[in-house]
Amino acid sequence: MPRPIQSIYSGLFSWLKTRFPETADKLPAYAQLIRLDKPIGILLLLWPTIGALWIAAEGFPGFYLSFIFVLGTAVMRSAGCCINDFADADIDGDVERTENRPLARGALTRKDALNCFLLLSLVGFLLVLMTNLSTVLLSVGALAVTAIYPFMKRYTNLPQVVLGIAFSWGILMAFTAQAGTVPSAAILLFIANTLWTIAYDTQYAMVDREFDKKIGVKSTAILFGDADKAIIGVLQAMFIAAMYLAGQRLALGSIFNTALLAASVLLVYQQILISERAPKKCFRAFLNNNWVGAVIFAGILMSYL
């Protein structure tokens, strides 16, 4: 960390420690709660959102909206982590991958997580108020889907579908914020991103599948069973096809199609990683989707240069 930033951080921490000692002591746990140490969720949400913003503006959307959507994406992803841990407080301790989360080990309470969710949601809403009425109205739906997603794994084997909708909602908001409307191409992008999210979150669920079966948590990884790899492959192919159709409708051209081809190669690599269903390799496949999103965004960016 650069010295000036470190000095500011130290000063703020000292002030907080003096005025609010209990909160200051919990700061590392709060940082872990919102996954500051694991930004993959923010990146997976960010790439399609800013890509849609770029498409809606037919080029650089300007610093104003870029700032709102980049910060808003980070804030709402963090809020989603808070409500997720609030919902899973009673089961995270039984899963090897999550047993050290703040609520599972007692560093924070469910009330702390809920308060953090409400605060971050307020910050996100204040950011949306800086756009237009259509985007504000859409944000209500985004918050609702974000809030209910963590509870779906108790009632349905399709919580990944709900997550897909939540992670794709920003695409619609990007279009209304920039263009004031949601064209058919935006719907195609929404569908494509939902399919992609279901695929990579199923890879993520494959990591915990045996633990989830024992504690009664539902997921598409459990639902798909031995057909998991094939269904993920179909979802990935449908994702690329929907993105191609959107690119054709938007006239993004050969550069974008080349990016889709590169993304397809990465998706094939993911199939190789999950071929033996080894948890660590399934997790690597999940992480690899960051590069899929980055490559496609690069294709969008270069198409408008």
Say what the pLDDT of residue 246 is: 96
| Choice between 1 and 216, residue whose per-residue pLDDT is larger | 216
Check the CA dihedral 166-168-171-172 and report its sign.
negative
Say what the pLDDT of residue 13 is: 53
Answer whether residue 272 shows pLDDT above 50.
yes
Answer whether residue 223 shows pLDDT above 50.
yes
Say what the pLDDT of residue 27 is: 86
Q: What average pLDDT does the segment 271-295 reach?
A: 97
* Residue 262: closest CA among 291, 237, 239: 291
Residues 61-115 have pLDDT tens digits of 999 999 999 999 999 999 999 999 999 988 888 888 888 899 999 999 999 999 9
Answer whether residue 1 shows pLDDT above 50.
no
Residues 235-261 have pLDDT tens digits of 999 999 999 999 999 999 999 999 999
C-alpha atoms less than 13 angstroms from C-alpha of 156 in its C-beta half-sphere? 11
DSSP type of residue 86: H
Residues 17-53 have pLDDT tens digits of 566 566 667 888 999 999 988 999 999 999 999 999 9
Say what the pLDDT of residue 191 is: 97
Residue 156 Rama label (left phi>0; alpha psi -120 to 50; beta)? beta
Question: Residue 299 and residue 301: Cα distance in Å, rounded?
Answer: 5
Confidence of residue 14 (pLDDT cuts 50, 70, 90): low
Residue 123 amino acid letter: V
Say what the pLDDT of residue 97 is: 84
Give the whole-number percent of the chain exceeding pLDDT 90. 81
Answer whether residue 293 shows pLDDT above 90.
yes
Say what the pLDDT of residue 5 is: 47
Alpha carbon distances (Å) from 157 to 146, 148, 257: 17, 14, 34
What is the reported pTM?
0.91
Say what the pLDDT of residue 151 is: 93
User: How many CB atoms are located within 10 Å of the residue 275 CB?
Assistant: 11
Mean pLDDT value across the chain: 92
Give the whole-number percent of the chain exceeding pLDDT 70. 92
29-304: CATH superfamily: UbiA prenyltransferase (1.10.357.140)
Say what the pLDDT of residue 21 is: 64
Say what the pLDDT of residue 305 is: 84
| Choice between 211 and 177, residue whose per-residue pLDDT is larger | 177
Residues 157-179 have pLDDT tens digits of 999 999 999 999 999 999 999 99
Say what the pLDDT of residue 277 is: 95
Say what the pLDDT of residue 72 is: 95
